Structure 1
């Protein structure tokens, strides 16, 4: 049985806070050259600047809400 690797499931956001859902668009958050993943710890000096957020998808008419 494969282990679950989805950070939202591992962090118990899906199931405890949100109902299970199927992800349709990829999302990446990057500080400098380091991608933020579940359990990733960053020092204050690494988060001085705003992160780069990449939301997948080709249709620029579609909007998303990012909740942190």
Structure 2
């Protein structure tokens, strides 16, 4: 559920646990082409969501769906 998590993070970032990782995409190995690789933090690191508080996430998603026609 990547797309709902992106929107939920914009609405309520505190419900997510973040970790710092170096992220790269494999482009050379045919067997792993396109794979996202996360390595421990480096100077060019990125904040990555690694957990979400489900007791807050699901009600937020339910409320969002309830507004749809």
TM class by smaller structure: under 0.3
Q: Which has the higher contact order (CA 8 A, sep 6+)?
A: 2
Q: TM-score normalised to the size of structure 1? A: 0.24
Higher helix share: 2
Q: TM-score normalised to the size of structure 2? A: 0.23
Higher strand share: 2
Select the structure of larger CA radius of gyration.
2
